[in-house]
């Protein structure tokens, strides 16, 4: 499910971003700088809510992100992976978070598993940021931190820890791993424009702005209950609004102050057009307001072509992956003879795991 993506985890080295002014200038304009997390700072009791996908949502989801960053920042940077961290420490992180947000464990431990997944991602991202800023220098430092070293900014890091970290990051196997990760990152050709908020925290904004229908809101349940939300309505909601949200997440404001898919990203614009056309076929929702009129005019002459393409894909050909083996079902009434349908020698007979 796309809602489980990493873009739902707020921040990298901490979700609290202090505001400061550039040194050496007399301007009163304030600039936001990314820095270490200040941790959770709430003046009233926090009762975290979970949406129907089991993801923290609602009023306190941002503070939950800060708590995740705070836990990740307390781990020694020379721990190779979060999974290798001792169980006592990981359990302590979770128990602390439960107390802060009045969370009760669910029977399947999904909330705890999701929390550890978030901390693991944040920890890995934090170490990557240290590498980009001080080792490979691919990321520019903020002006007010130009001459600072890691231990000047992140007080949990000592000079000895940093020396060990640099030696580890410059090993040949780490260089190969880093190169592989860089190539993998380049495969993300259409990054979302939601910033650190991700889909979870942007969704209420889209609804309030009228860019997303009110019925797109997710069902929330209290974290103080051990009963998890029902997912019976999740598949229908997913089919109905997922493409809409994808388009919204890739929109930017143009010169007129209107939202549109970034015109410089031609492929994303084409994907948006095809998504709109596909949903017109299903007639499940009308969201012509999601793309600018100029794109709508361009797309309209080709609607009948998109109709044919999507009808063919949806109704004729279904590509289905199961247990690592790909099977093609050309007709809903025909199946692989290994499952009891079809005859050998017929046009529908299969060879191994593929239709002939």
Strand partners, 252: 260
- pLDDT of res. 264: 85
Whose CA is closest to 201, among 34, 77, 58? 58
- pLDDT of res. 99: 94
Q: Are 218 and 53 in contact (CB under 8 A)?
A: yes
- pLDDT of res. 236: 64
d(CA 352, CA 338): 9
Q: What HEC string does the chain produce?
A: CHHHCHHHCCCCCCCCCCEECCCCCCCCCCEECCCCCCCCCCCCCCCCEEECCCCEECCCHHHHHHHHHHHHHCCCCCCCCHHHCCHHHHHHHHHHHHHHHCCCCCCCCHHHHHHHHHHHHHHHHHHHHHHHHHHCCCCCCCHHHCCCCHHHHCCCCCHHHHHHHHHHHCCHHHHHHHHHHHHHHHCCCCCCCCCCCHHHHHHHHHHHCCCCCHHHCCCEEECCCCCCCCCCCHHHHHHHHHHHHHHHHCEEECCCCCEEECCCCHHHHHHHHHHHHHHHHHCCCCCHHHCCHHHHHHHHHHHHHHHHHHHHHHHHCEEEEECCEEEEECCCCCCCHHHCCCCCCCCCCEECCEEC
Whose CA is closest to 274, among 234, 247, 293, 245? 247
Q: Is the pTM of this model over 0.85?
A: no
Q: Which residues of the chain have pLDDT under 70?
A: 1-39, 41, 226-239, 279-356
d(CA 227, CA 287): 35
Residue pLDDT, tens place only, 135-170: 999 888 888 888 899 999 998 999 999 999 999 999
d(CA 246, CA 268): 10
Quick one: DSSP state of residue 251? E
What 3-state DSSP class applies to 20?
strand
- pLDDT of res. 281: 63
What 3-state DSSP class applies to 297?
helix
Query: CA 252 from chain center: how many Å?
Result: 18
What 3-state DSSP class applies to 226?
coil
Whose CA is closest to 119, among 26, 9, 38? 9
Count other C-beta atoms under 10 Å from residue 215's C-beta.
10
Residue pLDDT, tens place only, 203-242: 999 999 988 888 888 888 887 776 555 444 555 666 678 8
What 3-state DSSP class applies to 51?
strand
- pLDDT of res. 3: 46
- pLDDT of res. 135: 94
């Amino acid at each position: 499910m796309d809602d489980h993506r990493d873009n739902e985890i707020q921040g990298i080295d901490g979700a609290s971003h202090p505001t400061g002014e550039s040194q050496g200038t007399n301007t009163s304009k304030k600039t936001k700088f990314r820095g270490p997390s200040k941790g959770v700072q709430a003046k009233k009791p926090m009762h975290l809510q979970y949406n129907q996908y089991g993801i923290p949502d609602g009023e306190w989801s941002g503070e939950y992100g800060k708590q995740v960053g705070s836990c990740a920042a307390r781990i020694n940077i020379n721990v190779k992976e979060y999974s290798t961290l001792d169980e006592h420490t990981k359990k302590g992180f979770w128990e602390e978070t439960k107390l802060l947000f009045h969370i009760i464990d669910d029977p399947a431990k999904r909330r705890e598993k999701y929390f550890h997944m978030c901390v693991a991602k944040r920890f890995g991202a934090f170490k990557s940021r240290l590498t980009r800023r001080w080792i490979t220098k691919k990321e520019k430092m903020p002006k007010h931190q130009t001459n600072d070293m890691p231990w000047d900014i992140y007080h949990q890091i000592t000079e000895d820890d940093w020396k060990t970290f640099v030696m580890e990051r410059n090993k040949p196997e780490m260089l190969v791993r880093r190169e592989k990760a860089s190539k993998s990152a380049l495969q993300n050709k259409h990054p979302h424009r939601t910033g650190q908020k991700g889909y979870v925290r942007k969704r209420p904004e889209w609804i309030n702005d009228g860019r997303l229908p009110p019925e797109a809101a997710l069902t929330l349940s209290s974290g103080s209950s051990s009963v998890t939300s029902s997912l019976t309505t999740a598949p229908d909601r997913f089919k109905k609004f997922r493409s809409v949200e994808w388009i919204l997440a890739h929109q930017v404001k143009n010169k007129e102050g209107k939202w549109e898919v970034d015109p410089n990203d031609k492929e994303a614009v084409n994907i948006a057009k095809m998504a709109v056309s596909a949903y017109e076929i299903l007639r499940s929702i009308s969201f012509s307001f999601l793309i600018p009129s100029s794109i709508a005019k361009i797309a309209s002459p080709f609607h009948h072509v998109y109709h044919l393409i999507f009808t063919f894909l949806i109704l004729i050909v279904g590509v289905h992956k199961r247990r690592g083996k790909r099977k093609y079902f050309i007709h809903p009434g025909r199946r692989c003879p290994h499952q009891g349908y079809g005859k050998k020698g017929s046009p529908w007979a299969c060879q191994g795991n593929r239709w002939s």
